[in-house]
Amino acid sequence: MEIQLQWALSEASKDFGIGEFLMKLVSSEKERLNRIWGFNEDSHVSSSVMEKSAPLPSAVDGSCEDDKKIKCKICSQVFRDNQEIGTHWMENHKKESQWLFRGYACAICLDSFTNKKVLESHVQERHCVEFVDRYMLLQCMPCGNHFGNSEELWLHVLSVHSIDFRMSNVAQQHNMSVDGDSPLKLELGNSASINHPENSGAGRKFICRFCGLKFDLLPDLGRHHQAAHMGPSVIGPQSPKKGIRYYAYKLKSGRLSRPRFKKGLGAVSYRIRNRGAANMKKRIQASKSLVMGEISVQPPVSEAVNLGRLVESQCSSVSKTLLSEIRKTKPWPNNLDILSIARLACCKVSLKASLEEKYGVLPERLYLKAAKLCSEQNIQVEWHQDGFVCPNGCKIFKDPHLLSPLVPLPFVERQPADFSEQMNDEWEVDECHYIIDSYHLGQRPLHKDTILCDDISFGQESIPVACIVDDSLLDSLCVPAGSSDCQNFRSSMPWESFTYVTKPVLDQSLDLDAESLQLGCACSQSICCPETCDHVYLFDNDYEDAKDIYGQPMHGRFAYDQRGRIIVEEGYIVYECNRRCSCNKSCPNRVLQNGVCVKLEVFKTENKGWAVRAGEAILRGTFVCEYIGEVLDEQEADKRRIRYGAEGCGYMFNVDAQINDMGRLIEEQAQYVIDASKYGNVSRFINHSCLPNLVNHQILVDSMDYQRAHIGLYASRDIAIGEELTYDYHYKLLAGEGCPCQCGTSKCRGRLY
C-alpha cells in the first residue's frame, strides 16, 4: 500500500488529469464499499447492518448460542475467536485500544505515564537529560508490563488481555434486561461498558466502572478515567503550589471552594452517622467486584482452542511475548535499589552479582548508572574507574569496546535496533561524562567521624539511630560554661538530656475522649484497598476537592502510594488504619504508625548544635519520623514557655503555627503543642531551615480527635545520603534581635524567631 500510494502521489503531481482520475477511483471505490457493507457517512458502524451482512458463521439471535459468541464490546460485531477479534480491534478500534492499553514508562526510573508529553517533561525535569526515544518504554496499562515497541505491546495485549475486547456475557445479558437507570449498570464491562442501541433501546453509552459516570464516546471515558482514577505516577508534573494569598483572594472574592473540613466531635458524629452510607457504598463496591471477578475469568478451553489455531509465525511471536513476560517476572531495580546495592559493592563484579541475584538479568554495564547515582549522592566509589583492581580479588570482565571514562565520548544519536541496545547506550554515554564531572572535579576533603553512640533509641527504633561527631568538632562536646577540662563531656551527650520514646505522651491537661472516637474500617482483607476502605471514604467525605502533590484529585485514593510515600498535598488530615481494623502492618494505609524506616544519624554541627542527617538516600514523600513529645494544651504550653524562657523553647512544636496555607483557612484550628524537651525521639534534633527538605502532615491513627493527630515529617524532595534534614519551624518573628538563623540557604529569612 505504501509503495502504491507513493507511486500514485508522484504520478498525480506530474499530471493533474491523473490526480483527478485517482480521486474518482477512490470515491467510486468508497461508494462500492458503502453499498456492500452498509456504511454511511454519519456512523461508520451500523451494527444492525453489520450483523446481517458480515460473513460470520454464527447468528446474532438465538439465546443458547450467545454464551459461545465473542462480541466486540465496542461495535457488537461477532467473532469466532480471540485472534479474529484482535485483528478487528487493530483495524477498527485502534484509537480505543490505545486509550485502554497503551501507557508509557520512563526507561530510567520506570515511572509510569499515560501521556508521552508528560513522560518527556518527566525525563527532562527528573533526570535532567534531553528527552530522546530511548528513554521511553511502552507500558501495558492493565498490567504494567513494559515493552520496547508497539508491536510487542499489541502481541502481549492479544495474548493476555484479549478478554478486554469482548463484551462480557454478563454485560450482554444485562444489556438486554436492565433498564437505563439501574445501578446494575455499574457492574458492566471491564474498563468500559456499552449499552447496545438495539438491546437497550437507548443510545450507546460507556460507563466508568469506578464511579458509574456515563459517556457517549470511549475517548471521553478514557480522559475521565485518566483524570479521575489514575494513580499519581501516571500523571503530569506537579502543579505549582498555591499560597495563602491565593486562597485568601479566592475567599474574599467568593470564589473559594475550599475543602470541606469537619473537625472535632461534630465532625466525628457526622462521620459516624455517615457510616451507614459508607457501608452501603462498600456493599455496592463488593457486589461490583464480585461481578467483575466473574467477568474476568477466562474459560481455559478457549485458550487451548486459540493456541491450536496459531500458525508458525504467530507461535514465534507468542513465544517472544511469553519470554518477555518471564523476563519481567522479576521487577527491575529502581534508582534507590541500585544505589543501596552499589554502596556496599566492592567492585563491578560484586555489584553485578548482587543485582542479578535479586533482579535477574539486567542491562550490561549497569555499574555506570550505579556510579552515576553514587556520584549524585556524594558516595565515593573507586570501582567505576577504568583499570580498577578489586582488593577482594574479584575478576572484572574487561570489555575491549569500553572506552576509559577519561576519554570524552562523542554523543552520537543512533536508532538502536532493539531495546536492550537502547539501555546499553544510555548507560554508556551519559554516565561516563557525569562521573568525570562530579568525581574528578568535585572532590571533597575527607572527614573522619567518631561514633559516640550506635543507637540513641537503645533498640526502640527498628533502625538504629547513631550519634556521630566529626573529629574536628570533638572538642566542642566539652561543656563550655567556663570549664576547661572535659569532666562534663558525658553530660553533653545528646541522648542523655531526654527520655527516648516512640509514642506521644499525652499530658493530663488535654481533655480527650480518644478511645471511643476511634473508627476501624470494615475491610476484611489483611491489606485494605482504596475502593472499599472506610478511611478513604472518610477522607473523601471531609475533603471533596483534595488534590495530590501532582494536582490530581485524591478521590478514592489512599494518601500514600504503593511504596508508602505520601502523595496528598500538605494541609489535609490523613486517616491511617488502626487497631480496630482487620488489616495488618503491611496495609498501604499504615505508614507513620510503623515508625522510622529510614536510616537517620544525629550529628554535631558547627553552629546549630545537634542535627539529623540522612543515613541513606531518601526519596520524595517518604515518611522520615514523627515529631514525638508530650502533647499539651495551649494553657499548659504557655506555662512551660514562661518556665523555659525564650531560648529553652526550642523543642516545642506548635501545631497551630505549623498548619500550612490550606489549614490556616480552616475554622477550628489545632490548639495543641508537642513538647519534646523531656520526652522525645530523633525528631527533636531536626533543625530549622528556611528552604527545608521535610514537610509535616497531621495523621490520625488512634483517635479521630484532631487534637490527637500525629505530626509526621515526610521528605518534600529527594534527599541525598548525608544531607541534613530540616523543616520550617514557622516561628513568629519577635520584637528585638531574636535568634539568627544559620540555615545558610538562599531563601534564609535571617532569623529563627
Ligand X SMILES: C[S@@+](CC[C@H](N)C(=O)[O-])C[C@H]1O[C@@H](n2cnc3c(N)ncnc32)[C@H](O)[C@@H]1O
Q: Are 208 and 225 in contact (CB under 8 A)?
A: yes
Query: At its nearest, how many Å lie between ligand X and the CB of residue 476?
Result: 11
Query: At its nearest, how many Å lie between ligand X and the CB of residue 608?
Result: 4
Using the rule CB under 6 A, which residue among 93, 688, 697, 708 binds ligand X?
688
Q: Are 600 and 613 in contact (CB under 8 A)?
A: yes
Query: At its nearest, how many Å lie between ligand X and the CB of residue 531?
Result: 41
Give yes or no for residue 609 binding ligand X (CB under 6 A): yes
Give the interface size with ligand X as a residue count (CB under 6 A): 15
Using the rule CB under 6 A, which residue among 261, 610, 672, 706 binds ligand X?
610
Using the rule CB under 6 A, which residue among 206, 651, 679, 706 binds ligand X?
651
Query: At its nearest, how many Å lie between ligand X and the CB of residue 398?
Result: 50
Using the rule CB under 6 A, which residue among 262, 288, 565, 608 binds ligand X?
608
Give yes or no for residue 603 binding ligand X (CB under 6 A): no
Give yes or no for residue 704 binding ligand X (CB under 6 A): no
Give yes or no for residue 731 binding ligand X (CB under 6 A): no
Nearer to ligand X, 427 or 685 (CB): 685
Reading the block at residue 610, the C-alpha cell is: 545537634
DSSP bridge pairs for 206: 194, 215
Give yes or no for residue 640 binding ligand X (CB under 6 A): no
Residue 731's closest CA among 703, 753, 705? 753
Nearer to ligand X, 564 or 650 (CB): 650
Q: Are 517 and 566 in contact (CB under 8 A)?
A: no
Query: At its nearest, how many Å lie between ligand X and the CB of residue 649?
Result: 7
Using the rule CB under 6 A, which residue among 365, 684, 697, 710 binds ligand X?
684
Other beta carbons less than 10 A from residue 153's beta carbon = 25
In angstroms, what CA-CA distances link 567 with 363, 561, 691, 711? 31, 6, 20, 16
Give yes or no for residue 82 binding ligand X (CB under 6 A): no
Going by the DSSP 8-state scheme, the letter that residue 28 receives in this structure is H
Give yes or no for residue 560 binding ligand X (CB under 6 A): no
Give yes or no for residue 685 binding ligand X (CB under 6 A): yes
Q: Are 352 and 394 in contact (CB under 8 A)?
A: no
246-283 in b/e form (b: 16+ CB < 10 A) is ebeeeeeeeeeeebebbbeeebbeebeebeeebeebbe
Q: Could you tell me which residues come within 8 angstroms of residue 324 by beta carbon, excluding any fewer than 6 positions away?
A: 145, 147, 152, 156
Query: At its nearest, how many Å lie between ligand X and the CB of residue 120?
Result: 38
DSSP bridge pairs for 566: 560
Give yes or no for residue 476 binding ligand X (CB under 6 A): no
Reading the block at residue 579, the C-alpha cell is: 487497631
Query: At its nearest, how many Å lie between ligand X and the CB of residue 689?
Result: 6
Give yes or no for residue 671 binding ligand X (CB under 6 A): no
Contact range with ligand X by CB under 6 A, out of 239-247, 398-406, 482-490, 683-691 = 683-691
Contact range with ligand X by CB under 6 A, out of 44-52, 67-75, 609-617, 624-632 = 609-617
Q: Are 571 and 661 in contact (CB under 8 A)?
A: yes
Show the site string, 436-475: x = touches ligand X by CB under 6 A, - = not.
----------------------------------------
Residue 87's closest CA among 7, 368, 334, 77? 77
Using the rule CB under 6 A, which residue among 687, 693, 698, 707 binds ligand X?
687
Residue 426's closest CA among 112, 137, 731, 684? 137
- By the criterion CB under 6 A, which residues form the site for ligand X? 608-611, 650-651, 684-685, 687-689, 741-743, 752
